[in-house]
Amino acid sequence: MAQPTYIPPSLHELAALADEIWFLAGDQSVDTSWYTKRATLSTIYSATEVFMTQDTSKNFAETEQFLDNRLQDLQTVGGFMGKLGEWVNYTGHSTINVLRSKGVRI
Amino acid sequence: MHATTRLSSTIIGTLRASTARATPSFRQRCAYHSYDYAQPPPFSAAETKILSSAYAHVPDHGFTIDALKLGARDSGYLDASTNLFPRGVFDLINYHLVTQRLALKDSVQFPDANDGKRIGVGSKVRSLTLTRLRANEPILHRWQEVCISVKCNVKMFAN
């Protein structure tokens, strides 16, 4: 894992782990969140793993706390991104509709 | 019109030919989860034997070529049989990653939704992630070495 040659297989394994976790959790999304969920879980997992190697607390309580905080962040950001997507979608459609009503052929 | 049909049929023909050729290798590294087909084991029998014995030496010797050699010796192979693993130590690390990932399926069992409270996907993801992290526990002091060497190399790579 330490050599640059082994970075791609390591990342592949990380992606496989994130996929496995979402699959076992019974996630059935088929939209773009399929990708974002796996990508965010990969980053959270690797960050927590590094945190854990430095953790000296009893029964890894701090690692657990760290993971919970990251998942909390994810929910906040995820909600924001969802709303942002909705807003872009709505604004885009209304812009096109206004232009169409002005006789622009779109 | 005729030309288009011919073109599309040629394309479909090419696709069909390429899928027919690609099928065996695709099946080997199945990129999706299937309920109907069992996944092939990730390592061959000899590899599993050596790697699992070597893995038992990791807490004492770390992810090193020494652990691999001891593993080979324990399972009755010559030291030279570590040549079975061209990627050397990385194959041992990879063994840890792959087996722990596949072990998740059996180590975490969620109760059925029927009896009482339903568990949300979020808390399932949380407990699965924690289980996977705890699987690093026996080799954590050695895992730290792996993480440090990765950090050093990435830094060197970036500079």
Q: Determine, for residues B125 and A3 on separate chains, whether the beta-carbon distance falls below 8 Å.
A: no
User: Considering only residues 122 to 141 of chain B, which have any Cβ-Cβ distance to chain A shorter than 8 Å?
Assistant: 122, 124-126, 128-130, 132-134, 136-137, 140
Burial class, B102, CB count within 10 angstroms (exposed 0-12 / middle 13-18 / buried 19+)? middle
**Is 0.90 surpassed by the pTM of this model?**
no
B28 vs B42: CA distance, rounded Å: 9
Q: Which residues contact B104 (CB under 8 A, 6 or more apart)?
A: A20, A21, A24, B128, B131, B132
Which residues of chain A neighbour B86 with C-beta distances below 8 Å?
none
| Nearest-neighbour CA in chain A from B110: distance (Å) | 9
Q: For the stretch B119-139, what's the b/e string if a residue is b when 16 or more beta carbons lie within 10 angstroms of its beta carbon?
A: eeeeebbbebbbbbbbbbeeb
Report the complex ipTM: 0.74
- Model confidence over B9-38: pLDDT tens digits? 544 544 444 444 444 444 455 567 777 777
- Model confidence over A49-93: pLDDT tens digits? 989 988 888 889 999 999 999 988 888 887 887 888 889 999 999
